């Protein structure tokens, strides 16, 4: 861990972020970070509980003179997305994140940084530890498993929190005040298939797609970035249709909420088609790179000969699988007709794997409109069902409906203008914030989401802007001081 991280301002926040990033905290494996946070609260002598699902709640009394203000829930999630470059040797289960300063940015060495949502967690920790920051009664809510199911928010029972206002610190633009978000649903499609012995007179190839930007499958979906699974299926379709390509294995993408950056396949082609296949693939690769030259300057697609695999996918199963994936919608499905520039509904084909007689496709469908979410989910389910997959819809969570009349929104809008001489962007986002879920058990709680500039979340390019965090921290402290009176 570079000492220069701890010397950044505000030191209270950066030191807590460095402490947090030393603790492995993958989604669904949060035992260590839960214990870390529980000990943190107890060491401060503050009331600390861990609920049934693993959320940590730490309560701190109001600072002197702030006792008559509304109680504020400060909320962030403990888990982080674990993504690394293919050539990075790193074990997320045992190692802390390796950070460094690059100009005005803090980055990680070949992995995700954990600024999503570690900067929010560190912010709350700094407030809990401080004896100088002015604040009302604080209920610090650290949820678990936000990135892969939001089970922490879903499992939080009503009545546990007493707060009037919830400040979610999980927004990634410092000029934005979040007042709404999309809901989501997981699509899991699995099919069994027969394997065959690789036909004779074949040559083996490895197809590698890498170097894509990737990113957050909600916030970044509007950018039209490349999806490694889409590119791979495009090449496989052409190779099969024209040159009899046969698939042995595919491994593409990883997490549902990350736009897939890489995909790898082992295929075979008849030696009689070898020369024509290589020419056609070179042409197809050139076309893809040309289409995405502006967005994906570092895209690499390599097709090289390899040793012949023993087994390939049965040909009829292969054909309907390729066609079903081709028919599965990916990207922005509908823009909001009510909020300019907001994606209403989208889908991310996050993971495609084929090996050992099992094919699997994982998607995450998002929408700020519940009926729109289910419409697209059913459309995708039908395409995959026709391809012989057994399709399951699971993990559905609601969106967050804006409350434009909330008292804390007015306070925050006015403060932002006062401190920055410009209006903040009051907006909904196409990401799955926990506010919508928390609001089901706390319908009267006013909720706002905000945070500093974080770029490349859910990818190894994730980075947090130092100057923006300084701006955010000052604004955050003023918001706490300006909390409305009860």
Sign of the CA dihedral running 44, 46, 49, 50:
negative
Cβ(101)–Cβ(4) under 8 Å? yes
- Residue 51: both structure tokens together: 């609920």
- Residue 53: both structure tokens together: 């699902």
Q: How far is CA 298 from the centre of its chain?
A: 21
Cβ(326)–Cβ(233) under 8 Å? yes
Cα angle 133-137-142, degrees, rounded to a multiple of 5: 90
Cα angle 115-145-399, degrees, rounded to a multiple of 5: 90
Cβ-proximal residues to 180 (8 Å cutoff; 6+ apart), any chain:
368, 399, 400, 401, 402, 427, 428, 429
Taking residue 110's Cβ as centre, other Cβ atoms within 10 Å add up to 15
pLDDT tens readout for residues 430-451: 988 899 999 999 999 999 999 9
pLDDT surpasses 60 at 13: yes
The half-sphere exposure of 211 on its side-chain side, counting CA atoms within 13 A, is: 13
Q: Residue range 32-48: average pLDDT? A: 98
Strand 165-168 with 72-77, pairing:
parallel
Instruction: Kindly write down the DSSP assignment for every residue of 81-108, as one continuous string.
Output: ---B-TT----TTT----EEEETTEEEE
pLDDT number for residue 404:
87
pLDDT number for residue 295:
98
pLDDT number for residue 1:
52
pLDDT number for residue 3:
85
Q: Residue range 388-394: average pLDDT? A: 97
Q: Residue range 93-118: average pLDDT? A: 96
Q: How many residues does the chain have?
A: 486
pLDDT number for residue 2:
67
Rounded CA gap, 110 and 87, in Å? 8
| Burial class for 444, CB neighbours closer than 10 Å (0-12, 13-18, 19+) | exposed
Q: How far is CA 377 from the centre of its chain?
A: 19
- Residue 449: both structure tokens together: 């989401």
Cβ(187)–Cβ(381) under 8 Å? yes
pLDDT number for residue 89:
94
Q: Residue range 59-79: average pLDDT? A: 97
Q: Is 79 a catalytic residue?
A: yes
DSSP state of 271: G
Q: Which residue(s) pair with 106 in the sheet?
A: 101, 464
User: What global pTM score does this model have?
Assistant: 0.78
SS3 57: strand
pLDDT tens readout for residues 256-311: 999 999 999 999 999 999 999 999 999 999 999 999 999 999 999 999 999 999 99
Strand 300-306 with 343-355, pairing:
unpaired
Rounded CA gap, 82 and 71, in Å? 34
Rounded CA gap, 409 and 46, in Å? 29
pLDDT number for residue 421:
97
Q: Which domains does the chain have, with CATH numbers?
A: 3-182+399-481 (3.40.630.10), 185-397 (3.30.70.360)
The end-to-end CA distance of the chain, in Å, is: 43
**292: closest CA among 321, 315, 257, 259?**
259
pLDDT tens readout for residues 127-161: 999 999 999 999 999 999 999 889 999 999 999 99
The active-site residue out of 146, 170, 186, 446 is 146
Q: What is the mean pLDDT of the chain?
A: 96
């Amino acid at each position: 861990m570079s000492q220069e991280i701890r010397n950044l301002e505000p030191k209270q926040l950066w030191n807590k972020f460095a402490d947090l990033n030393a603790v492995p905290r993958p989604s669904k494996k949060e035992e260590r970070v839960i214990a870390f946070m529980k000990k943190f609260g107890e060491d401060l002598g503050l009331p600390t509980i861990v609920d049934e699902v693993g959320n940590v709640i730490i309560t701190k009394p109001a600072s002197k003179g702030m006792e008559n203000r509304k109680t504020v829930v400060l909320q962030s999630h403990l888990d982080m997305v674990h993504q690394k470059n293919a050539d990075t040797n790193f074990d997320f289960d045992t190692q802390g994140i390796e950070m460094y300063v690059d100009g005005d940015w803090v980055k990680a060495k070949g992995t995700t940084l954990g600024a999503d949502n570690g900067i929010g967690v560190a912010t709350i920790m700094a407030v809990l530890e401080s004896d100088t920051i002015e604040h009302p009664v604080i209920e610090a809510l650290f949820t678990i498993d936000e990135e892969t199911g939001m089970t922490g928010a879903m499992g939080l029972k009503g009545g546990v929190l007493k707060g009037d206002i919830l400040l979610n610190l999980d927004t990634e633009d410092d000029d934005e005040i979040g007042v709404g978000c999309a809901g989501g649903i997981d699509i899991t499609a699995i099919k069994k298939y027969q394997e065959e012995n690789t036909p004779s007179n074949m040559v083996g190839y490895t197809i590698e797609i890498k170097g894509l930007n990737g990113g957050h499958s909600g916030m970044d979906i509007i950018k039209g970035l490349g999806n490694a699974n889409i590119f791979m299926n495009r090449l496989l379709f052409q190779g099969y249709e024209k040159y009899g390509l046969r698939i042995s294995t595919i491994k593409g993408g990883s997490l549902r909420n990350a736009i897939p950056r890489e995909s790898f396949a082992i295929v075979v082609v008849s030696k009689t088609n070898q020369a024509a296949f290589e020419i056609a693939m070179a042409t197809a690769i050139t076309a893809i790179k040309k289409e995405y030259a502006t967005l994906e300057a570092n895209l690499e697609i390599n097709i090289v000969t390899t040793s012949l695999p023993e087994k390939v996918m049965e040909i009829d199963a292969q054909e309907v699988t390729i066609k079903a994936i081709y028919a599965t919608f990916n990207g922005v499905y509908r823009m909001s007709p009510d909020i300019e520039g907001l994606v209403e509904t989208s889908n991310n084909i996050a993971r495609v794997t084929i090996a050992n007689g099992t094919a699997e496709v994982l998607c995450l469908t998002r929408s700020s409109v519940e009926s729109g979410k289910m419409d697209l989910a059913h459309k995708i389910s039908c395409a995959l069902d026709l391809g012989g997959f057994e399709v399951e819809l699971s993990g559905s969570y609601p969106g967050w409906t804006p409350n434009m009349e909330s008292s804390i929104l007015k306070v925050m809008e006015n403060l932002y203008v006062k401190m920055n001489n410009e209006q903040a962007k009051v907006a909904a986002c196409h990401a799955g914030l926990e506010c919508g879920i928390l609001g089901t058990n706390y319908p009267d709680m006013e909720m706002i989401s905000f945070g500093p500039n974080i770029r490349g979340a859910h990818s190894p390019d994730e980075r947090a802007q130092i100057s923006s965090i300084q701006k955010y921290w000052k604004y955050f402290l003023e918001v706490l001081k300006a909390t409305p009176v009860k």
